[in-house]
């Protein structure tokens, strides 16, 4: 159902790759709610992805950019303002990638060049966007910027690797820049910490299927899917959340407040019935 929550608002959406992407769902919902926006992703993603179809359906202009490149990002903000005729009202940062994860380098054996790439793509790019937008005065007073995060920023999650460090940095940037952007120009900056979700990036997370089953059993409301994440982002772009800023907001069915649930404990008890402690059945990997 649409409520016209973004009627007349303009935005920039980074990170829609295919129809499983969280950013894709945000774009669809933003369109339904009356927004106009531009879409951005890397030239490679544009070649392999299906973004043209989404752009045609939503009337969006596609602007290629590597989010680690300041000049590319400047071009996205300048072109977006040209195309849409003035400042934008919302920006979505939905970007993450770790070469250590891709190349199966575990956390106690990181490649540091890869680590710098992880941090640059997944976190510093958020600072770059904010700094460029601030300098160009590209976001209107009352505007809203959201980046997507994960609970591994606060709590250790087996196998999430250096992306945990990237998410911790991302959330810190939201607070630090959120203070300045709020104080000087009345712009909100938040992160949404989303449940594990079956997307291209999500499927790179070690043991994603079992992880999703576990978090679903642990969360009183179950996992939030990509469409539910999009709904939440829309509220943050809308005028209904005008005083929400510098927050990391969990959209995770309650997972982040749980210690143990009945459903998860039931499965754990069942697993104890197997012979897991016998020699040679060690699960230690990283």
Paired sense of beta strands 139-149 and 88-93, if any: parallel
Look up residue 211 and give its DSSP letter: H
Residue closest to ligand NAD, measured at CB? 202
Tokens representing residue 132 in the block? 């460029």
d(CA 254, CA 55): 34
Residue 107 sits in the site that holds ligand NAD (CB under 6 A): no
The correct pick among 90, 150, 160, 181 for binding ligand NAD (CB under 6 A) is 150
Residue whose CB is less far from ligand NAD, 162 or 266: 162
Q: What is the DSSP string of 216-249?
A: HHHSTT----HHHHHHHHHHHHSGGGTT--S-EE
The correct pick among 36, 80, 161, 197 for binding ligand NAD (CB under 6 A) is 197
Beta bridge partners of 92: 13, 146
Q: CA nearest 92: which of 45, 30, 185?
A: 30
The correct pick among 13, 81, 84, 97 for binding ligand NAD (CB under 6 A) is 97
Contact 238, 6 (CB under 8 A): yes
The correct pick among 98, 199, 219, 238 for binding ligand NAD (CB under 6 A) is 199
The correct pick among 38, 80, 94, 215 for binding ligand NAD (CB under 6 A) is 94
E strand or H helix at 258 = none
Q: Any idea how long the chain is?
A: 286
Residue 143 sits in the site that holds ligand NAD (CB under 6 A): no
The correct pick among 19, 61, 68, 235 for binding ligand NAD (CB under 6 A) is 68
Contact 5, 238 (CB under 8 A): yes
Instruction: Report, in Å, the least distance between residue 202 CB and ligand NAD.
Output: 3
Residue whose CB is less far from ligand NAD, 143 or 196: 196
Span interacting with ligand NAD, options 29-37, 64-72, 74-82, 176-184, rule CB under 6 A: 64-72
Contact 89, 9 (CB under 8 A): yes
Residue 236 sits in the site that holds ligand NAD (CB under 6 A): no
Span interacting with ligand NAD, options 60-68, 98-106, 241-249, 275-283, rule CB under 6 A: 60-68
Q: What's the count of helices (H) and strands (E) in the chain, helices before strands?
A: 11, 7
Instruction: Report, in Å, the least distance between residue 8 CB and ligand NAD.
Output: 27
The correct pick among 121, 132, 187, 189 for binding ligand NAD (CB under 6 A) is 121
Residue whose CB is less far from ligand NAD, 159 or 186: 159
> How many alpha carbons fall within 13 Å on the CB side of residue 270?
6
- 265-285 burial: b if 16+ Cβ within 10 Å, else e: eeeeeeeeeeeeeeeeeeeee
The correct pick among 27, 95, 138, 264 for binding ligand NAD (CB under 6 A) is 95
Residue whose CB is less far from ligand NAD, 67 or 145: 67
Look up residue 120 and give its DSSP letter: I
Give residues in contact with ligand NAD (CB under 6 A).
15, 17, 21-23, 41-42, 45, 66-68, 94-97, 121, 148-150, 194, 196-197, 199-202
């Amino acid at each position: 159902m649409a409520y016209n929550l973004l009627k007349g608002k303009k935005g920039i959406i980074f990170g829609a790759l295919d129809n499983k992407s969280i950013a894709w769902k945000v774009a669809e919902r933003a369109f339904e709610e009356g927004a106009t926006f531009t879409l951005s992703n890397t030239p490679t993603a544009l070649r392999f992805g299906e973004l043209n179809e989404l752009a045609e359906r939503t009337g969006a202009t596609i602007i290629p950019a590597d989010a680690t490149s300041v000049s590319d990002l400047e071009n996205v903000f300048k072109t977006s303002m040209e195309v849409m005729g003035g400042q934008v009202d919302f920006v979505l940062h939905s970007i993450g990638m770790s070469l250590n994860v891709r190349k199966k380098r575990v956390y106690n054996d990181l490649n540091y060049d890869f680590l710098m790439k992880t941090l640059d793509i997944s976190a510093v790019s958020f600072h770059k966007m904010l700094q460029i937008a601030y300098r160009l005065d590209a976001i209107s007073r009352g505007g809203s910027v959201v980046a997507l995060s994960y609970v591994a920023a606060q709590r250790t999650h087996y196998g999430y690797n250096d992306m945990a460090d990237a998410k911790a940095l991302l959330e810190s940037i939201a607070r630090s820049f959120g203070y300045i952007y709020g104080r000087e120009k009345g712009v909100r900056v938040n992160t949404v910490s989303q449940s594990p979700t079956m997307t291209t990036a999500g499927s790179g997370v070690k043991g994603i299927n079992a992880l999703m089953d576990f978090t679903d059993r642990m969360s009183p409301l179950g996992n939030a899917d990509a469409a539910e994440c999009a709904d939440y982002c829309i509220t943050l772009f809308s005028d209904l959340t005008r005083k929400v800023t510098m927050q990391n907001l969990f959209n995770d069915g309650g997972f982040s407040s749980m210690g143990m649930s009945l459903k998860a404990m039931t499965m754990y008890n069942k697993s104890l019935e197997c012979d897991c402690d016998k020699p040679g059945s060690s699960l230690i990997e990283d």
